[in-house]
Structure formats: C-alpha cells, structure tokens
Chain A
C-alpha cells in the first residue's frame, strides 16, 4: 500500500493522524448539529470516515462515531465502488445513496452517503456518512418489526443510486426518499445534514492536501493502517496459542419460539487470530438474521472493545480471519428480514468475549445486558392527530478485571444517549411511573455486573399500541471467569387489571393499551467477573447498604 510513497517520520505521522481524525470528527459534528431526527441529533446514531480509493477499506475514523458503523462502513463503501465501476467509474462530485443492509450492512434505517474525493483527476479516497433515519416505510413505525418474515415488511430498500451527479442534486431521488417513510420532514433534514457533512469533509481534505501534498497524505493512510496492524498483532501475540470455543443463544426469531445458537471458535496462532462461526445456526424466518458485512463489523467492534488501544482502521483486521458459514444466521441475503440486527450483533460480541475470556482472563468481561429493547408506542391523540414514540433502553454492563460493571450503560455496539423522561412526557401522552435501577440484576462476581433498569410507562390517552423488540428474556447475560449471570430481561404490561407477559420472551407486536395501562421493561444487568467468593466484603456490604443487592448474594 505504501509502495512508491515517501516514508514518513513518526512525528509527521502522529500529526497527520490527528488532522485526519479531526476532519472526520468535524463531519460527525456537522451532522449531529443540523440533523432533524433525535436518533441522530440527540442519540448520535451516525458515523463518518475516510476510506481507501480502491478497496474501500477504512483508513481513518473519528472518535465520536457509533461503534458498529465504524466496523461496517467499509462494506458500504466497497459496495458503492462496485456500483461506480458499473457506471464507468466514479466521477468527481458524485454521491451515492443507499440503505441496502445486505451489502452495505446493518439495517434499512441506516442511510449511507458515499462520495469519491478527487484531486486533479486522481482518486484519493472515499468519504462516507451514515445515519439512522426515523422511518423508512414497512409495517411498523420506526421499523423494529419483530414479526417480519421478509425485508419488505421492515421498510423500503434503496440500492446505491447517485443522489448527486457531478455536483448536481437529483431532486427525483430526493422525492422518492421523502415519500417512503412516515417522517418526510425528518428525512429531508437528515439528508441535507448528511450532504453538508460529506461536503465539509471534502473541503477539509482538499485543504489538507493543499498543505501537505498528496504523497504525504497517501503515505500516512498506508502507515496508519500498518501501525494499527502492528498493534493488533502485538495484542494477539499476548494471547496464548490455542482454540477457544464459546456459544450463546438468542431467545427466538420472533416467529417460532426456539432458541437460536450463535457459536464461535477462536484460534490464536502466534500473531494471527481466526474467528470461525461454523457452529452457528442456519438463517431464521424472523428478523434476527444479519448480513455477512454486519457480522464482520460485529467482530471488529468486539475486538476494538477488547483491545481499545488499537486505532480504528482496516489495518487492525489484517491479522484476523472471520469465517462465516454460507446460509447461516450471519449470512443473510435479500429478502431475509434483518431488522433486529442489533440483538444478533450483541450475541456475536458476547461469544467473542466468551472465547477471549478463556484465552486470557485479564481480558475477560462479563457479558453486557445484550438487548436494546426497541419500543414503538403509537396512538391517536384525543384531537385525532397521530403520534409515534420510538426509543431503546439501557442496561447493565459486565464486570471487568478492573471493577464492577457500569450501571445503566449503553450496549457495546452503540454510544447513543437516552432522551430524558421530561422530553418524552412533553412530546407524547404518556407518563413514566418508574425510571430506576433494577436491584439484584447485576451478575454476582468478584466484580459485580452493572445493574439494569426498570422503566414503567403509563398511557394517558384513550388508547395506544405498542411494539417491543427485546432479547435475553430466556438466556441471561453470562458472567466471565467464574462470575454469575445478570438477571434476564422482563417485559410486561397491564391489561384489564391483569399483568401480561409476551409469549415470545421480550418480543410483542400490536399490544393494545388503554388509559391507565402500564408497560414495564426490566432490562437485564451485566454478567459478573470472577468468583463471587472473592468479592471484597466491604463492597458486598456497601451493595446491601445502597440497596443495589437485596438478597445477600455471596
């Protein structure tokens, strides 16, 4: 990659790394500030990056993008490159837009913009932007449809199309994009913000190239990936050679109530690492499938959490082989439903953590709560207007060698913050009756798992309809190195005075609620780390005093 380019001294390289990361951070900030939909603007469910001119490999990531996108966008860029080849090669000022989750990874809500960056006719790199749109059609508002049997019931799929051709916006495509979902104003605002972010990235890159010259910047691209590769090899070398197998289960696919196995065999051989998912179940009927691109991105996220010191670029995956069996849960093609991709990703991360824990207990962590509990709550106000509230919830993180797991954190694939109770209550006819930590939900251990939460929502209008998409109701988050499991997920609601729980664990569609009914989510805690018998008695005593533990867990 660096052949023909000048070699850079480490000082210049560090400076260029900072400058390039800064450009990507600025792209992130531009989108967050001007986006319309709160999932991007408040929760930062978005990401930007700089990608290799020919392979689409990740060259530079910022520090603020959402973790799963950091891993997945290289696939999206590669797809755009293939599409551009079909069009006779990329042209300056073209911007490709798509949400195809099979080749471009993740799910239909994630709209990607990919743009080539030219300089004097030479393709230097690609810039890309991705953000979670509020709604892209389909059967369920917000697109988390646990009963989907095909992609079309989840939303509208857009293949790579040129929303800009040589600098000119294609208004026809904008019209189509705005027509497909339930929130056209949001979509328009988000698209404008993404276009601004990509343009800003392009102008900042041109300024950097003016200042530093093409050769030095290209040399930095290569050298940064090489440095990441060396760091990852060094990290892998610290793990003892061997084979480590780990498996875990999803509750069900949202249609048949049967557990789905996710299994990995991790092989360490010197400075190389192989993740083989051969034992994983075949694809399922419901939306728990993920595409090959998504599965690879999940591996990347898991390894970044285990080795956070390695920079986020393609170099860190060079010493890693990911083997995904054809036709498996992790190899979904169209039109298999993939809307619940978050849940499957979290299980992939869990099994990788499980395997690494066997190899090196110092790197082990209890599983995190392992489900985002996506909730759509919709209804008609007394004045007849429609409202749709979409959100997802937090839970406990796993205990670690350093200390207890974090109470009420975000899932490993995300960094999205949760909107405040007061914002929900001001916007929708609901009232929260609980927003509290869930005692006894953290897995026991030398370092206890973090606590999940109890959220309870009361309906204030005549009626409302709820959709819940959660996991970990049947298979609790596991502990590591002798630690115990976190409490499983529990979803329930009141109906005619009785408490009802979903037949499918934590998944339900079309829950009919009336005024005064309450929907309750008790999210899982994290798994514990280490033998509970080794816990510092002072910490146990403190847990009891604070009411984080009530049963005197050993």
Chain B
C-alpha cells in the first residue's frame, strides 16, 4: 500500500498534569527519541515548545500529533467560556432539567449548575416535527435579535439546539445563517450529533460551545508558534475515539477531544500489548487521584457512545471507553463509625498531597501506605519536586487514623490500606470486564501511569488475570499513542425506520456517500497512511425495546448490494449471540447508522526501545531494601529496570525501579523481561 504513504518525522506530544512527554519517530530510518519536560500549567504552549525544541527542529517535522488535557481540565474545573444557547420556544430548560436524575441515589442533596446559565438561553418560535416536517420556520430577525442579546450579555460562543433537529436540520441551519455570529465559535446540535434525544444532543453541543473558545485559541497559538519556528508539517490532535484529526477540526469540535490524552494511552497500550503477543489486555492508569481502566479485546479498545464528565454534564460521542474511579495514590484512608476501613473517594491530591510530602496533610493515603511498606523509595520521590519523603510522618498517620481504631500496628495498618485500595481498584476492573461478560482469566493487566505498577501484582491475584505486562516506558505511553493513533472520522445518522419499511438501496447509498466523505477527509490531511478502513454498523432493536444491538454490515463496503433480508439475518445472528434468543414475531427497527472511517497509520517497531544487547542482570542490581509483604519484613532485591537484559527474571518480593514508575513484584510472582523490554509478571512456576 505504499502509494498512500509519504513518511517523515512525526512527533507525539502528551501534555499531562505534571509532565509533558515527547516521542520523536523518524519514519524513514525508524529511529526514535523521547523527552520529558515539566508541564507549564496555564501556559501549556511554553512547555510544549521547550520540550519539542529539546529533541527536534520543528522545520524537519512532517507532523506533530498532540494528546491534550486542556479540554478535559476546562470541563472538570468548569473553566469553559461564556456561551449562549438559542432553542425552541418552550424548551429553554432542557439543559437544566437533564433526564430528571440526581447526583446520588441516597441523600437528596446536591445542586446542579448547567454550563450555560438560564439567562444565556433564549427561545425562538420555530418547530420541527418528529417526522422532519417543518411545522414552523424560523424568523431570521428573531434569531438575529436573540444572537445580539446573547452577544451583549457576554456570550463568546453560540449554540443552536432545536427539538427534532436530528430529523431535519433545516431550521438550525437557517438560524445559524441568520445569527451572523461574529466568530467561528458556533455549534448546531444537528451538526454536532445527528441523533435523537434532545438532552444528550443539546448537552454535547453546549459542552462543545463551552470549550471552543478555550481549546481553539490554545491549538491556534501552538500552531502559530510552531509555524514561527519553521514547522511546515501537519498539526494533528488525538480525539476521544483514539483517532487523530487535523487541528482545524479539533477546534470546531473540541468536545470530541475531551479524553484525548487517556485515549492515546489506550491506543498505545493496545499496540504494545499486541507486539508482545497479548491481544487482550486491561489497561490501568493510576495517578494521584484517579484510576482509569480500559479493556482491549482482540487488539481493539472497547468503545462507549456516551459519558458523563460530571453530574448532568453528558457528552455523547463515540469514545474509547475509559472507566474512572476516584482512587489513586492520594486517596485518603479512614475508619468509619461502623468500624470498616474505607479508601477515598476523598483525596489529598498533589497539593497538599500524601502525609509523606510534608505539606500539611496529616491523614494517611495509599501512597503513604506504599511508602511505609518499603515499596516506594523514600529517597526517590518521583515527580514531586521533593528531595525525600517523610516515612516517619506517614507511619505515624497510619498508626493514628487506621491502626488505633482497628488495633493494628503501623505496618499492618499500611498493609490493610493497600489491601482495601486493591479491592476498590479490582472493582473498577471487574466493572469493565466481568460485568460486560469478559472473563478476566483471558486478559493480561497492563499498568501505566506512576502508581499502577505498585498494585498490579495484587490485582492480578484479586481479579484472576494470569499475567501483567508493564511496558518498557510507561511514562511515554500516551505520547506513543499519539504517533500510532489512526486517523479516524465517526459519523452517526438516525434512521428510525422499521426494517420492513426500510429502503435498503437508499441506506446503501447513504453508506457509500459517508464512506466517500470520510475517505476524502482523511486524504486531505496529507499525513502518511497505509490504507483506509470503513466500518458500518446499524443499531437495531425489536419494536418496544429500548437498548439496541450494534449490527455490523459489510456489504456496501465490499461493493455488494444491500437488501432487507441480509440486514434481518445479521440482526438475528447478532441478537442471538448477545441474549441467547431471537424474537421472530416482533418487528425489528433500524435505529441508527454508525460509520467509522479509519486511515491506518504506519506501525513503529517497538524493538527501538529494547534493552541494550550488552545489558546484564548483575549490572542492573541496586542492592536491597526492607519491604513488608505477607505480614513480615523481607530484605528485597532492588533492580534498575531499564538496565535489565532481555530474558532476565527476578522472583518476588523484589522492586524494579525506573525514572517514571516503580514496579513491586509480590512474593510468589516472577518478573521476566521480554524481547521488547516489557516486564511480564506471572505466578512463579
């Protein structure tokens, strides 16, 4: 497929909360370099450019692929821009009424602040019927007046969301035209997501408008600075679906990049695992406050169609399914009034941080427990800016807040905290595996992020995973994902027609048109691709049912005609595989067409990162240190992980250290270095 390909030097850049990681890959020579620089929060561009200049001359680069958390942070911190909404008369409050849910099942407390306040939501007389008929056309003057009022009230972005616009966007399009908004920060609900359900569509469009004035200028500024440095290549951004798009498109639809960085991490994890011969992995990214898990089956990440950023802030767009629980190194341990040990969700974060940071928090955290147990080296405080960690403070806090109420000494209390934390982490993993019908015994665990490798051995046992795979360079996983991520466009089109009334040829034509549109969009990016894949799925269900199954349709892509009988047959097969039966007397409904157009990126040989040929086990030994495991202190060997040769193996309990993480190998487990330098952890023979 070489005609598609025009190789050059590509840089993946992952801007995280603490560090910015870079990976430079020369697609001509296959050479790669990495760099890590401190992130410069609120002036992200400065850290980004400093990091880039340290490893490459921007003028030499074919493409820069960026995984960003600017959008995520703006959502989490409610730091988006003032945004105005024009909506159908009678429906001003859709965004605020949500789906009638509440923040917690029990307690009845908690308020909700929509991201577009009520005084920036204005109604206009217009109506589209559920069949797409225009019941009442928009009055351009009324729309214009509303837009001017919103502008005068301080709105920087405009969102237009009308009832039933999924069935016919004409009124939204006419309103957009009439509004004559003075900048590019405009979103129509049908342009964002042409799908039934007004709350989810409006919420997604509103969050997009909320992010446009934040993400747009950020990406623009970066690109301008890059151009000023002589960069003449393509500037691309990773989306939440794990695919990349040109910066212009990310600026138009920033809500689709809400999980940019984490999705890139899952892409890289899937790739790394595949190269190591593990097509099925559960990735776990454990940081200071949260634990993110995702499932990769047969080399492909599981997808979700919708997620909540926070209570009532719903984003509906295809994305890598990443499940997050509030448990990380900073999670606080406490004993409740019933005498049960609880971990989190309260977190000490990175400021003030765990007790051992000595910055004012005196309540013990998971990191404090790992420190007291000797699993973290007090003299090597990763990414904290400290010289050393305060072990005595951590021990005292554990004794006071956990040991005393439970009648345990400090080590036992620390072990209890780690055990209960592991149970919570395991729960999150079960949520995405067992609950979805995946048997964990068929999966390997793959930790990345600073803290995950400390817990992975215990998690393997708790969940029943036979192996864990720790990538050679866990810290650059997301940057690697940026370089590897395919170009990807997703399209969603509502059909909502009974199968018996479906015009199959019209559907096939829609599929062909969408595929062409996507393919052209990919080629216009000018970045190297090895080929284009188009995947069509229709969401189908029985009439009266609520949840659809995704039915794969390959015929139009393969150039074969599409007919109702084929659709009926594939639906029946899919339904039976999912629920064990079909309901042949009930009419089937074709709800939605989903099209994914993917431009496959060239692969990167991970052997680039493999251990040096002259490495030796003896050269990696770094003495021993006391580590608490299974109720006793052990004098555990410590190794420099990156200095270990291929084939080296170390029996637990032992510790493998490297600059971006610490791996703890429990007793009864053995860690082996594979051909690519990954550490494979499994039960000792």
Task: Please list the residues of chain A having a beta carbon within 8 angstroms of any beta carbon in chain B.
Answer: 10-11, 13-15, 17-18, 22, 25-26, 29, 32-38, 41-42, 63-64, 67, 183, 185-186, 188-189, 192, 196, 227-228, 230-231, 234-235, 304-305, 308-311, 365, 368, 394, 397-398, 400, 402-410, 412, 415-418, 420-423, 425-426, 431-437, 453, 456, 545-548
Q: Is the CB of B416 within 8 A of A10?
A: yes
A-contact bits for B126-138, CB 8 A (1 contact / 0 none): 0101100001000
Q: How close is B438's CB to chain A, nearest CB, in angstroms? A: 12
A residues near B103, Cβ cutoff 8 Å: 406
- Beyond A41-B545, A402-B109, A410-B100, whether A14 also contacts B430 by CB under 8 A is no
Binds A, one of B195-203, B238-246, B260-268, B509-517: B195-203
Contacts A/B (CB < 8 Å), 16 sampled: A14-B340, A228-B338, A308-B107, A310-B338, A402-B110, A406-B110, A408-B93, A415-B102, A417-B100, A418-B99, A421-B91, A422-B166, A425-B129, A434-B90, A435-B97, A437-B97
Q: How close is B323's CB to chain A, nearest CB, in angstroms? A: 13
Q: How close is B91's CB to chain A, nearest CB, in angstroms? A: 5
For A305, give its contact among B107, B338, B341 (CB under 8 Å). Answer: B107
A residues near B542, Cβ cutoff 8 Å: 36, 185, 189
For B419, give its contact among A11, A22, A304, A418 (CB under 8 Å). Answer: A11
What 10 pairs between A and B have smallest CB-CB spacing? A41-B546, A308-B106, A308-B107, A394-B100, A231-B338, A417-B99, A425-B130, A227-B338, A546-B118, A418-B100
Q: How close is A211's CB to chain B, nearest CB, in angstroms? A: 9
For B338, give its contact among A22, A189, A234, A405 (CB under 8 Å). Answer: A234
Whether B535 sits at the interface, judged by CB under 8 Å, is no
Q: Is the CB of A309 within 8 A of B164?
A: no
Q: Is the CB of B339 within 8 A of A227?
A: yes
Binds A, one of B13-21, B579-587, B607-615, B656-664: B579-587
Q: Is the CB of B104 within 8 A of A409?
A: no
- Beyond A11-B420, A407-B97, whether A421 also contacts B163 by CB under 8 A is yes
Q: Which residue of chain B has the shortest Cβ distance to A186 in the bound complex? A: B544
Q: Is the CB of A403 within 8 A of B109?
A: yes
CA distance in complex: A545, B121 (Å): 12
CA distance in complex: A394, B199 (Å): 15
- Beyond A11-B420, A308-B104, A400-B108, whether A422 also contacts B336 by CB under 8 A is no
Q: Is the CB of A410 within 8 A of B101?
A: yes
- Beyond A38-B546, A408-B96, whether A13 also contacts B118 by CB under 8 A is no
In addition to A10-B335, A417-B99, A421-B91, 8 A-B residue pairs with Cβ atoms within 8 Å of each other are: A15-B420, A64-B105, A231-B338, A420-B196, A423-B197, A432-B163, A453-B93, A546-B119
B residues near A437, Cβ cutoff 8 Å: 92-93, 96-97, 118
Whether B112 sits at the interface, judged by CB under 8 Å, is yes
Q: How close is B666's CB to chain A, nearest CB, in angstroms? A: 16
A residues near B430, Cβ cutoff 8 Å: 22
- 8 A Cβ contacts from B311-347 to A: 335-342
Q: Is the CB of A422 within 8 A of B164?
A: yes
CA distance in complex: A408, B92 (Å): 14
Q: Which residue of chain B has the shortest Cβ distance to A436 in the bound complex? A: B93
A residues near B335, Cβ cutoff 8 Å: 10
Q: Is the CB of B546 within 8 A of A42?
A: yes
Q: Is the CB of A422 within 8 A of B163?
A: yes
For A409, give its contact among B90, B101, B166, B196 (CB under 8 Å). Answer: B101
Q: Is the CB of A185 within 8 A of B90?
A: no
Q: Is the CB of A407 within 8 A of B423?
A: no
Q: Is the CB of A10 within 8 A of B164?
A: no
A-contact bits for B171-208, CB 8 A (1 contact / 0 none): 00000000000000000000000001111100000000
CA distance in complex: A196, B578 (Å): 12
CA distance in complex: A394, B118 (Å): 19
Whether B94 sits at the interface, judged by CB under 8 Å, is yes
A residues near B381, Cβ cutoff 8 Å: none
Q: Is the CB of A394 within 8 A of B97?
A: yes
Q: How close is A500's CB to chain B, nearest CB, in angstroms? A: 21
- 8 A Cβ contacts from B77-102 to A: 90-94, 96-102
B residues near A426, Cβ cutoff 8 Å: 130, 196, 496
- Beyond A18-B424, A228-B338, A436-B92, whether A36 also contacts B544 by CB under 8 A is yes
Task: Please list the residues of chain B having a beta carbon within 8 angstroms of any beta carbon in chain A.
Answer: 90-94, 96-112, 117-119, 127, 129-130, 135, 163-164, 166, 196-200, 335-342, 406, 416, 419-420, 423-424, 426-427, 430-431, 434-435, 462, 496, 542, 544-547, 579-581, 583, 585-586
CA distance in complex: A421, B100 (Å): 12
A residues near B339, Cβ cutoff 8 Å: 10, 227, 230
- Beyond A10-B341, A26-B434, A36-B544, whether A397 also contacts B198 by CB under 8 A is no
Q: Is the CB of A33 within 8 A of B117?
A: no
- Beyond A18-B427, A437-B93, whether A368 also contacts B198 by CB under 8 A is no
A residues near B112, Cβ cutoff 8 Å: 406-407
A residues near B338, Cβ cutoff 8 Å: 227-228, 230-231, 234, 310-311
B residues near A309, Cβ cutoff 8 Å: 336-337
CA distance in complex: A403, B127 (Å): 37
- Beyond A436-B90, A437-B93, whether A397 also contacts B108 by CB under 8 A is yes
A residues near B129, Cβ cutoff 8 Å: 425, 431
Q: How close is A477's CB to chain B, nearest CB, in angstroms? A: 13
Q: Is the interface of B mostly helix, strand, loop or mixed?
A: loop
Q: Which residue of chain B has the shortest Cβ distance to A410 in the bound complex? A: B100
B residues near A404, Cβ cutoff 8 Å: 111
A residues near B545, Cβ cutoff 8 Å: 36, 41, 189
A residues near B117, Cβ cutoff 8 Å: 546
Q: How close is A14's CB to chain B, nearest CB, in angstroms? A: 5
Q: Name which of A183, A398, A409 has the most chain B CB atoms within 10 A of its CB.
A: A409
For B435, give its contact among A25, A42, A192, A231 (CB under 8 Å). Answer: A25
CA distance in complex: A435, B424 (Å): 40
- Beyond A18-B423, A409-B101, whether A456 also contacts B90 by CB under 8 A is yes
Q: Is the CB of B108 within 8 A of A368?
A: yes
B residues near A22, Cβ cutoff 8 Å: 427, 430-431, 434-435
- Beyond A29-B435, A422-B196, A434-B90, whether A415 also contacts B341 by CB under 8 A is no
B residues near A431, Cβ cutoff 8 Å: 127, 129-130, 135
Q: Is the CB of B544 within 8 A of A185?
A: yes
B residues near A64, Cβ cutoff 8 Å: 105
B residues near A405, Cβ cutoff 8 Å: 111
Q: Name which of B92, B99, B416, B542 has the most chain A CB atoms within 10 A of its CB.
A: B99
Q: Name which of B94, B108, B109, B434 has the most chain A CB atoms within 10 A of its CB.
A: B108
Q: How close is A56's CB to chain B, nearest CB, in angstroms? A: 22
Q: How close is B20's CB to chain A, nearest CB, in angstroms? A: 36
Q: Which residue of chain A has the shortest Cβ distance to B342 in the bound complex? A: A14
For A63, give its contact among B105, B200, B424, B426 (CB under 8 Å). Answer: B105
Q: How close is A471's CB to chain B, nearest CB, in angstroms? A: 18
A residues near B427, Cβ cutoff 8 Å: 18, 22
CA distance in complex: A418, B101 (Å): 8
A residues near B101, Cβ cutoff 8 Å: 409-410, 415, 417
A residues near B94, Cβ cutoff 8 Å: 421, 435
B residues near A408, Cβ cutoff 8 Å: 93, 96-98, 100
CA distance in complex: A400, B107 (Å): 10
Q: How close is A327's CB to chain B, nearest CB, in angstroms? A: 32
A residues near B96, Cβ cutoff 8 Å: 407-408, 437
Q: How close is A444's CB to chain B, nearest CB, in angstroms? A: 16
Q: How close is A35's CB to chain B, nearest CB, in angstroms? A: 8
B residues near A35, Cβ cutoff 8 Å: 546
Q: Name which of A10, A185, A453, A545 has the most chain B CB atoms within 10 A of its CB.
A: A10
CA distance in complex: A67, B101 (Å): 13
CA distance in complex: A34, B198 (Å): 24
- Beyond A420-B196, A422-B198, whether A13 also contacts B340 by CB under 8 A is yes
CA distance in complex: A445, B104 (Å): 23
Q: How close is A366's CB to chain B, nearest CB, in angstroms? A: 10
- Beyond A418-B100, A432-B90, A436-B90, whether A34 also contacts B579 by CB under 8 A is yes
Q: Is the CB of B544 within 8 A of A37?
A: yes
